[in-house]
Chain A
Amino acid sequence: MLYLSLKLATSILLVLVASIWFGSKLVINSRRDLHPIALNGQANVGPTRKEKETAVYRNFTVPPGFPLSTGLGLSMGYKLRNGNFGDIWSNIMSLSARNYVELSGREYSVKKINALAKCLSKFVIQQSGSGRLGIAAPIFELPGFTVAIAGFMSSLSNVVPVFLTSVPRSKQELDILAIDSWTTFHQMNGSCEWYKIIIVCNENTGQPPQTIPQNVVTWKDLVSDQADDPVFEYAPPKDNCDDAKLLAITSSPWNLNTSFSHMALVSSVSAFIKSFPMDNEISGKDHLTVVIEEATKYYYPIQVWTKLLTTLLHGGSTSILFIKPNETDLQSRINEKTSLLQIDSSSPLLDSILQSPTTAFKKVKLGWALSLLSEGIFTSSALSHQAFQNMRCMFLSATVGDTRAVTAMEIPSRKLQGNAKGSRSTLTLNKLRALLGSRLIVELYSPFVVMGPIACTNFFDYRVLPESVDSRLSHYGPIGTSLEAKLVEDEHKPELQSSRRQGMLCIRGFTIGKPVEPERLERAIKIVEKFDGGEGWMPMLGVYGLFGKDGCFYEFK
């Protein structure tokens, strides 16, 4: 009897184990978002490489021999053209029935913004001709936002908007300057005479001077009584010259300016659209929220537009959310319709989500979710807060190790601090995926040099990398579709070998800006010549990394 019972128990146990094993294999394989084979082949690698260089790496959607994402592919007769801001904005207006932009907690219809920007653009073109419009007002408020859109509209008439990190202390080639308030005006100490016109964006902050100079106007005076306008007409010239015009110049905290053409914008928009996988495309239902904090406030004026314009272009709505340094609560500030979120990778808001107190049951659910995610199965079962229930993708922006060195085109003299950027481990990223119930993409930016990300992780990549890799490298996924990249050996890091796919990053493509200062441009040309000049490669000085066997770019911490 005992023998029979033992036999039965063993049989039951074996059947149970076999069922669990078979079931889990079957379930995991059928429920995975992306097969491990696809995760291990995320780039197209060139068949050859030069000595002391790696092969050229491209996104897996852009095979060698095929053109990189170079724009919107609009038809012009029998030809295709790349497009420009005018095309994007006119298409945004054709879909502007219900969408809006939320600024400082208030919603403004796109039609309203169009009316205000058109009015401002007319004024800017009248006053500055083909000069420059300096924007030192915050873009997360309506006046600054509309001045920026007006600047882009005017760029088609050869006006160049210049995004400034602060009000200039020395005389610059600016005809019009938009500042945030009267308080700033008083701090200018008479430098207002340098400009033809000064636009004070917020007339309610600070006291106006007793006598307002003739060249000073308020934003409200310029745009008063503007009704909604659903139309922005744009017809490209026959020679298609608008596509090659300057879109904007952006200033960095080190007073180094970089210019971007309309080509960079449309290529960046195109790459962003293509980054969404099939059945998860960006649509009119999406609501993008861009979080601006201390870490991102200098570069958001140029980097915010790619995602914002793309969302509006599909009929969606957007919010720009400015978070002060003492605020640590994202869920109470975020628009509940948010489906796409752009936030800095090192944001304290994410820390507060990760550290928020939780119940034992929620901890169990989080454990299950992490286990499933590491197997490649997405689940939102451990969602931490209802405010995130509509979120489907979060973009964590990280910057290259030494942004200044890349921008200034100077080899960094100091040794980089380990983990200075606070990049998060792949396990932590999965925790964020689980707690926010959303996919997560990590993006690598060189914010004053390249418009949009250089590389970004796959929408479906939830791998947990070994601790030894996470502690030494930041994982950034394959190169974007508008760029191609290679790594070169550099004398400052002789231990990195190109034969092991290691070295300094060099990129080539359509979203790269151009240095404005002649001496920096000259220095850039010399450095580019040193690193295989003549083929258009742009070295990212001080950015050392490796290409994994999966085709992804990993930067050394």
Chain B
Amino acid sequence: MSFVKNFLFGGVKTSDDPTGLTGDVVDNQTEKAEEPIVEGKFFPRTLYKYNGHDDEKIFIAIKGKVFDCSQGRQFYGPSGPYSNFAGHDASRGLATNSFELETLRHWDQPMDDLSDLSGQDLESLNGWLEHFQNKYPCIGELVPEPGVNV
């Protein structure tokens, strides 16, 4: 009806405030969920939820660096061949070319220091790291959580 009123009496429709400056628009839960994540430090516990199930975004850690692999959902997302890696430190799995759950540490276990990997495994891991650096944005680093992983 507002259009009819505007059309007859010469008014215009004013759009919603897209800037959020006036406070007219209240941030709802959906908008908050779409907010960009602040890059920084991740603990295995905080990384876990970005596994494509609990949160739409998919983050994977390799050699202490966290990558946003949401664009590679077909590989790392639910039902993807590498879905186990999502939300985890995937270093050992990638180094040993194994997609098994045994290669991954739970969030409440000490972080994997990869000290027992062979030279060949480390070389393979560095290759994967380079691949991820070229393909996905690095959004932070994975550090042990005091009292949980240390």
Could you tell me which A residues sit within 8 Å of B by CB distance? 17, 20-21, 24, 28, 36, 39-40, 45-51, 54-55, 64-65, 364, 367-368, 370-375, 427, 430, 463-469, 472-473, 500-501, 546, 548-550, 552, 554
B14 within 8 A of A: yes
Instruction: Check B57–A47 contact: CB distance below 8 A.
Output: yes
Q: How far is the CB of B17 from chain A (nearest CB, A)?
A: 5
- The interface residues of chain B lying within 8 Å CB-to-CB of A40 are 18
Could you tell me which B residues sit within 8 Å of A by CB distance? 1, 3-4, 6-7, 10-15, 17-22, 24-25, 31, 36-40, 57, 68, 70-71, 137, 139
- The interface residues of chain B lying within 8 Å CB-to-CB of A500 are 20
A546 vs B3: C-alpha distance in the bound complex, in angstroms? 30
Instruction: Check B39–A51 contact: CB distance below 8 A.
Output: yes
- The interface residues of chain B lying within 8 Å CB-to-CB of A548 are 18-20
Q: How far is the CB of A545 from chain B (nearest CB, A)?
A: 10
Residue of A with least CB distance to B19: A548
Instruction: Check A48–B14 contact: CB distance below 8 A.
Output: no
Instruction: Check A466–B11 contact: CB distance below 8 A.
Output: no
Residue of A with least CB distance to B135: A65
Q: How far is the CB of A444 from chain B (nearest CB, A)?
A: 16
Instruction: Check B10–A549 contact: CB distance below 8 A.
Output: no
A23 vs B12: C-alpha distance in the bound complex, in angstroms? 18
A465 vs B19: C-alpha distance in the bound complex, in angstroms? 10
- The interface residues of chain A lying within 8 Å CB-to-CB of B68 are 47-48
- The interface residues of chain B lying within 8 Å CB-to-CB of A430 are 12
- The interface residues of chain A lying within 8 Å CB-to-CB of B40 are 51
Instruction: Check A468–B21 contact: CB distance below 8 A.
Output: yes
Q: Is the interface of A mostly helix, strand, loop or mixed?
A: mixed
- The interface residues of chain A lying within 8 Å CB-to-CB of B14 are 374, 464-467
Instruction: Check B139–A463 contact: CB distance below 8 A.
Output: no
Residue of B with least CB distance to A470: B14
A530 vs B19: C-alpha distance in the bound complex, in angstroms? 28
Task: Using A21-B1, A55-B36 as known contacts, say yes or no to A468 and B70 having CB atoms under 8 A apart.
Answer: no
Residue of A with least CB distance to B56: A47
Instruction: Check B70–A546 contact: CB distance below 8 A.
Output: no
- The interface residues of chain B lying within 8 Å CB-to-CB of A374 are 6, 12-15
Other-chain contact of A554, B1, B19, B71 (Cβ < 8 Å): B19
Other-chain contact of B21, A64, A65, A375, A546 (Cβ < 8 Å): A546
Q: How far is the CB of A155 from chain B (nearest CB, A)?
A: 34
Instruction: Check B38–A48 contact: CB distance below 8 A.
Output: yes
Instruction: Check B21–A48 contact: CB distance below 8 A.
Output: no
Instruction: Check B6–A46 contact: CB distance below 8 A.
Output: no
Task: Using A20-B4, A371-B3, A427-B12 as known contacts, say yes or no to A466 and B17 having CB atoms under 8 A apart.
Answer: yes
Residue of B with least CB distance to A366: B10
The 8 closest A-B pairs by CB, nearest first: A367-B10, A548-B18, A55-B36, A374-B12, A463-B15, A550-B18, A49-B36, A374-B13
Q: How far is the CB of B12 from chain A (nearest CB, A)?
A: 4
Instruction: Check A370–B12 contact: CB distance below 8 A.
Output: yes
Q: Is the interface of B mostly helix, strand, loop or mixed?
A: loop
A39 vs B15: C-alpha distance in the bound complex, in angstroms? 11
Task: Using A21-B1, A464-B12, A466-B22 as known contacts, say yes or no to A371 and B7 having CB atoms under 8 A apart.
Answer: yes
26 contacts between A and B (CB under 8 A): A24-B1, A24-B4, A47-B36, A47-B68, A49-B37, A49-B39, A50-B38, A50-B39, A51-B38, A64-B71, A65-B71, A371-B12, A374-B12, A374-B13, A375-B13, A464-B15, A465-B14, A465-B15, A465-B18, A466-B17, A466-B22, A467-B14, A468-B17, A469-B22, A546-B21, A548-B19
Residue of B with least CB distance to A21: B1
- The interface residues of chain A lying within 8 Å CB-to-CB of B139 are 47-48
A20 vs B8: C-alpha distance in the bound complex, in angstroms? 12
A54 vs B38: C-alpha distance in the bound complex, in angstroms? 9
- The interface residues of chain A lying within 8 Å CB-to-CB of B13 are 371, 374-375, 464
Other-chain contact of A46, B7, B15, B31, B137 (Cβ < 8 Å): B137
Q: How far is the CB of A554 from chain B (nearest CB, A)?
A: 6
Instruction: Check A48–B1 contact: CB distance below 8 A.
Output: no
A499 vs B100: C-alpha distance in the bound complex, in angstroms? 39
A39 vs B70: C-alpha distance in the bound complex, in angstroms? 25
Q: How far is the CB of B1 from chain A (nearest CB, A)?
A: 6
Interface centre among B12, B14, B19 (most CB of A within 10 A): B19
A473 vs B22: C-alpha distance in the bound complex, in angstroms? 12
Extra 19 A-B pairs, beta carbons < 8 Å, given A39-B15, A466-B14, A469-B19: A21-B1, A45-B36, A46-B36, A48-B36, A48-B137, A51-B39, A64-B137, A367-B10, A368-B7, A371-B6, A372-B7, A373-B12, A374-B14, A430-B12, A464-B15, A465-B17, A466-B15, A466-B17, A468-B22
Residue of A with least CB distance to B22: A468
A466 vs B19: C-alpha distance in the bound complex, in angstroms? 10
- The interface residues of chain A lying within 8 Å CB-to-CB of B22 are 466, 468-469
Instruction: Check B25–A549 contact: CB distance below 8 A.
Output: yes
A472 vs B57: C-alpha distance in the bound complex, in angstroms? 35
- The interface residues of chain B lying within 8 Å CB-to-CB of A36 are 15
A45 vs B37: C-alpha distance in the bound complex, in angstroms? 11
Q: How far is the CB of A43 from chain B (nearest CB, A)?
A: 11
A374 vs B6: C-alpha distance in the bound complex, in angstroms? 10
Task: Using A367-B10, A368-B7, A549-B25 as known contacts, say yes or no to A49 and B17 having CB atoms under 8 A apart.
Answer: no
Residue of A with least CB distance to B11: A371
A430 vs B37: C-alpha distance in the bound complex, in angstroms? 37
- The interface residues of chain A lying within 8 Å CB-to-CB of B39 are 48-51
Instruction: Check A469–B21 contact: CB distance below 8 A.
Output: yes
Q: How far is the CB of A394 from chain B (nearest CB, A)?
A: 20
Instruction: Check A48–B37 contact: CB distance below 8 A.
Output: yes
A21 vs B1: C-alpha distance in the bound complex, in angstroms? 6
A45 vs B6: C-alpha distance in the bound complex, in angstroms? 35
- The interface residues of chain A lying within 8 Å CB-to-CB of B6 are 371, 374-375
Other-chain contact of B70, A47, A368, A463 (Cβ < 8 Å): A47
Instruction: Check B4–A472 contact: CB distance below 8 A.
Output: no
A20 vs B24: C-alpha distance in the bound complex, in angstroms? 29
A371 vs B24: C-alpha distance in the bound complex, in angstroms? 23
Interface centre among A48, A469, A472, A552 (most CB of B within 10 A): A48
- The interface residues of chain B lying within 8 Å CB-to-CB of A549 are 18-20, 25, 31
A351 vs B68: C-alpha distance in the bound complex, in angstroms? 50
Task: Using A20-B4, A48-B139, A375-B13 as known contacts, say yes or no to A552 and B36 having CB atoms under 8 A apart.
Answer: no
- The interface residues of chain A lying within 8 Å CB-to-CB of B18 are 40, 465, 469, 548-550, 552
